[in-house]
């Protein structure tokens, strides 16, 4: 393990915990489910939020990604674990880059709190996480 993998793993685990909280119906850090919907998916109401099962699926996926990121730096090149960590990094970089096109591709997002949050937090965080994982594999 190295600093890059530990930093990425802690961040991924924190994001997994947040999705687990959302699966319970708690809108934190928003004040309401409608505000959470607008901030995290550009939704118009609480009905737009994903089901708890979807939040738990994201939680589980992020925890698997965390395990891959932690294990990969000590595994040989070409191993399934290392390839998995590379896929995680690639998906995060893709999400980060594609995130900037979302308001154009989904016009209903325009004017929601999601757009500036995505531009200043979500997309850059994905890009940084992807880069940190790639750096941990050097």
The SS3 call for residue 119 is helix
Structure-block tokens of residue 70: 């932690």
pLDDT in single tens digits along all 138 residues of the chain: 799 999 999 999 999 999 999 999 999 999 999 999 999 999 989 999 999 999 999 999 999 999 999 999 999 999 999 999 999 999 999 999 999 998 888 888 889 999 999 999 999 999 999 999 999 999
Residue 101 is classified by DSSP as T
Q: Rounded to whole angstroms, how far apart are CA atoms 80 and 75?
A: 9
Q: Rounded to whole angstroms, how far apart are CA atoms 43 and 73?
A: 38
Q: Judge whether 96 and 62 are in contact, CB under 8 Å.
A: no
Taking the model in full, what pTM does it have? Answer: 0.93
């Amino acid at each position: 393990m190295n600093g890059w993998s530990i930093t990425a793993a802690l961040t991924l685990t924190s994001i997994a915990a947040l999705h687990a909280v959302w699966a319970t119906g708690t809108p934190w850090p928003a004040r309401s489910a409608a505000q959470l919907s607008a901030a995290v998916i550009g939704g118009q109401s609480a009905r737009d939020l994903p089901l708890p099962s979807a939040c738990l699926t994201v939680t589980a996926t992020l925890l698997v990604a965390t395990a891959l990121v932690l294990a990969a730096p000590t595994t040989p090149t070409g191993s399934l674990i290392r390839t998995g960590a590379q896929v995680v990094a690639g998906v995060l970089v893709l999400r980060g880059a594609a995130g900037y096109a979302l308001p154009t591709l989904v016009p209903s997002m325009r004017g929601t709190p999601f757009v500036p949050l995505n531009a200043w937090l979500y997309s850059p965080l994905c890009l940084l996480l992807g880069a940190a994982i790639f750096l941990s594999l050097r």
